[in-house]
Structure 1
Amino acid sequence: MQEHEVVEMLNTAEQGQFEVRTDLALEQKESFQGDGGEISGVKLKEWRRQKSQVKLTEVKILNDQGAQAMGKPKGTYLTLEADRLSKGDDEYHSEIAEELARQIRRLTGEMINWKRNALPSILVVGLGNASVTPDSLGPRVLGNLQVTRHLEGQYGDSFLKDRGLLALSGIAPGVMAQTGMETAEILMGIISQIHPDLIIAIDALAARSVRRLGTTIQLTDTGIHPGSGVGNHRHSLTKESMGVPVLAIGVPTVVGAAAIVHDTVSALVRVLSQNDSTKGTGSWIEEMDPDQQYQLIRELLEPEFGPLYVTPPDIDQSVKQLSFTISEGIHQAVFARNSQSLRPEK
């Protein structure tokens, strides 16, 4: 490749014609110099749980300026990072479910009014294709969910109220190739019939970094937007489009091949720069900023392989574990101590 071709690619990248593929606000924040806390219109908060060693990062996009800088809508984006989520440790997954429940209660408390005598109705939506493992997180969560809305019809209108339980319902609408309908169209029909107070949408996401696959959970009160998720939704699922607040919960299950190559090249350049005999090798790549490096690699790869995405070899087990963790987090968040009272007393 000639030098002028490289310069032309970099100029194209600087003009914003290419976009680094990530659904995580945390990774978008990391693309800025510094810790990301200096972005105008964006508020950053980080903390860690000592027991579980979970790192929590809250990115709040406060205004239009922040939304433009981040490339995401205004709202709150909360990320839970836990490296041990990729391990088959049931006790640890239980700890994460408890943390997830705390954060769901906190965020939904800001979205709807939780009243003891007027328990809200919640619709959980499992987005994705159950036949495609990296995109099956949503439907699998629905398979583990203990719904309650139907109990009123079976045991009387006061059954849930007497037990302090809300009406929880769920749907896995599939994808348009299976149904011939947009997910938004299906949900609008359901909403018009059951009138939920809140939607919780579960989706598989795309990440920028391999280390976040299956180890990161993002919650946001902004809902689901076109182009997000593994399925790349065409229509938004937001309060504005649905008429109901939407809490989105997502886990990254795929990463772009260009991002993997970029991380590999960056690691190689660091190693070469530490050795006197190879210090100059690849120095021109090292002088580029990370976005320029990524765009150059993407421009080289995609003509040969297309926009290729990669998923871990153990993704089936990972999605299975995470589906239980997320469903249990939802159970604890919405039922709390009353979750054992889902059947009438004999």
Structure 2
Amino acid sequence: MIAQSEGYTDLAMEERERFQGTEKEISGVVVEELKEKRADMKVTKVEINTPEAAAVMKKPMGIYITLEAEELSEESDQSDLFAEILADYIERLIPKQTKRILAVGLGNREMTADALGPNTVNQLWITRHYSKQGEGLSSVIPGVMAKTGMETATIIKGITQETKPELIIVIDALAARSANRLGTTIQLTDTGIQPGSGVGNHRDGINQESLGIPVIAIGIPTVVKTESILKDSWNYMKHQLMEKEQTKELGQKMQELTQEEWKEVAATVQKAGCMYVMPRDMDERVVRLSHILSEGINLAVHSRKFMRI
């Protein structure tokens, strides 16, 4: 039988799902579904508490909160409500007494699937320049290494040393394992981020270890690997065949496919090289999603008494 896909994902929740339906328990991982009554939204909290669990989950130790809703990237009158809900969960991750926050929009604004971070930061309410003490919200869009010749982490480290923020909020586009999560899932984490890791372009980490201050990362999946789409389609076809008596036997044969046999099937896609794809309307989705993220950050940051100018 085919095991859960082990393709890369930025989502801790998807990494945890890889072990569902198996006898393997992950010690040191706590999963909690949080109640959200204000909207049709599923909220899941994953805590990775030990180095051993981090190794199994392929994610740093820390808290990961995911907000899932089909209407997130659609034209909806609930956008403001989604932003309010997001703000509440962002506030949970902001340390008390934080007065200076730097927002960083990662990604290439000229590429649709990678423009989420820059588009979000462009809509933030920047207030640091109103304060003589440097308190409030500042922001930067550092661009990509191909255009700057510098590691993004190096640019952020220099700004951090000069402006002395107490917290960094990083916004970036993510990679998912399931196409169903594209544009429908927001992940928040207090572990920072590894830019480019989702598409195999590993860069220096942006986290508390490298910068010396807490880093909150907020992201939404915008791309998925072609192999993942093949697996999703295969599983859908398998379930459809098994529901009908005349095709049930064929569905069962698909169900019994071994991991090695699946690799042979997937190899037909992999021959074209490692490819990532996005929905054809992702440009419109990024506009709507960046608005929700920016409003959520604005509400979380500026609703705090010390941030009001």
Report what 2:270 is aligned to. Answer: 302
> Is it true that 1:93 corresponds to 2:79 in the alignment?
yes
Q: What's the C-alpha RMSD, in Å, of the aligned pairs?
A: 2.7
Q: How does 1:9-158 map to 2 (within 5 A)?
A: 19-34=6-21, 38-89=25-76, 91-109=77-95, 114-115=96-97, 119-152=98-131, 157=132
- Write the distance in 1 (CA, Å) between the matches of 2:104 and 2:290: 13
Once the two structures are TM-superposed, the CA of residue 302 in structure 1 deviates from its matched residue by: 0.9
Q: Which amino acid aligns with 1:207?
A: A
Secondary structure of 1:217's aligned partner: strand
Q: Is the 8 A contact 1:80 1:218 kept in 2?
A: yes
- Write the distance in 1 (CA, Å) between the matches of 2:166 and 2:237: 51
Q: Which runs of 5+ in 2 are unaligned?
A: none
- Write the distance in 1 (CA, Å) between the matches of 2:24 and 2:41: 20
Paired residues in the alignment total 309
> Is it true that 1:322 corresponds to 2:280 in the alignment?
no
Note the alpha carbon deviations across 1:13-65, whole angstroms, 9 max, x for none: 99xxx941211011111111249994211001002322311110000001012
Once the two structures are TM-superposed, the CA of residue 306 in structure 1 deviates from its matched residue by: 1.1
TM-score (norm 2): 0.91
Secondary structure of 1:250's aligned partner: strand
Q: Is the 8 A contact 2:99 2:307 kept in 1?
A: no
- Write the distance in 2 (CA, Å) between the matches of 1:339 and 1:140: 26
Q: Which runs of 5+ in 1 are unaligned?
A: 1-6, 161-165
Once the two structures are TM-superposed, the CA of residue 274 in structure 1 deviates from its matched residue by: 3.0
Q: Which amino acid aligns with 2:303?
A: A
- Write the distance in 1 (CA, Å) between the matches of 2:38 and 2:218: 23
TM-score (norm 1): 0.82
Secondary structure of 1:214's aligned partner: coil
- Write the distance in 2 (CA, Å) between the matches of 1:219 and 1:280: 43
Q: Which amino acid aligns with 1:321?
A: R
Once the two structures are TM-superposed, the CA of residue 227 in structure 1 deviates from its matched residue by: 4.8
- Write the distance in 1 (CA, Å) between the matches of 2:23 and 2:93: 22
Decide which moves more: 128-137 or 45-54: 45-54
Q: How does 1:215-230 map to 2 (within 5 A)?
A: 215-225=184-194, 227-229=196-198
- Write the distance in 2 (CA, Å) between the matches of 1:269 and 1:95: 37
- Write the distance in 2 (CA, Å) between the matches of 1:321 and 1:293: 41
Q: Which amino acid aligns with 2:50?
A: N
Percent pairwise identity: 46
- Write the distance in 2 (CA, Å) between the matches of 1:136 and 1:182: 18
- Write the distance in 2 (CA, Å) between the matches of 1:108 and 1:80: 17
Q: Is the 8 A contact 2:241 2:248 kept in 1?
A: yes
- Asked which structure has the greater CA Rg, the reply is 1
Report what 1:163 is aligned to. Answer: none
- Write the distance in 2 (CA, Å) between the matches of 1:329 and 1:260: 30
- Write the distance in 2 (CA, Å) between the matches of 1:218 and 1:341: 27
- Write the distance in 1 (CA, Å) between the matches of 2:240 and 2:234: 10
Report what 2:298 is aligned to. Answer: 331
Q: Is the 8 A contact 2:19 2:25 kept in 1?
A: no
- Write the distance in 2 (CA, Å) between the matches of 1:22 and 1:65: 19
Alpha-carbon distance change, 278 to 189 in structure 1, aligned in 2, over 3 angstroms: same
Alpha-carbon distance change, 293 to 151 in structure 1, aligned in 2, over 3 angstroms: farther
